[in-house]
Amino acid sequence: MDDGTNPPKKGDTDRRSRLAEALRANLQKRKAQARSRRAGDAAGQRAGDADKQRADDADKQRADDADKQRAYDTDKKRADDVDQQPDGLPGAGKMQKD
């Protein structure tokens, strides 16, 4: 038995050369596509960042408005509570000692 590999068939080296060339071309094509995608994503990312910033600003504005409304409601409630105190009771001030 022959321990070595089979001898190359006629035209086998041509086939290997063509396959190697096709693989190199495919690799170059995929690299170019990846570069193009990254360049396109960078432009899309910048646009996405601007959209995200606008959305964040709008959310912050809504939160600020809600905080202002809560503060207004709290102040109004405090004013209403003071108005509803009976006239005969003293206010919550310092008590005088005898």
pLDDT for position 32: 92
Kindly tell me if the per-residue pLDDT of 89 is higher than 60. Answer: no
Question: Rounded to an integer, what distance in angstroms lies between the CA atom of residue 62 and that of residue 75?
Answer: 20
**Segments in 1-98 forming alpha helices (H):** 12-83
Per-residue model confidence as pLDDT tens digits over 5-29: 676 666 678 889 999 999 999 999 9
Distances (CA, A) of 77 to 24, 86, 88, 90: 76, 16, 21, 20
Per-residue model confidence as pLDDT tens digits over 45-76: 666 778 888 889 989 898 988 888 888 888 88
Residues, the chain: 98
Rounded to an integer, the average pLDDT of 64-90 is 76
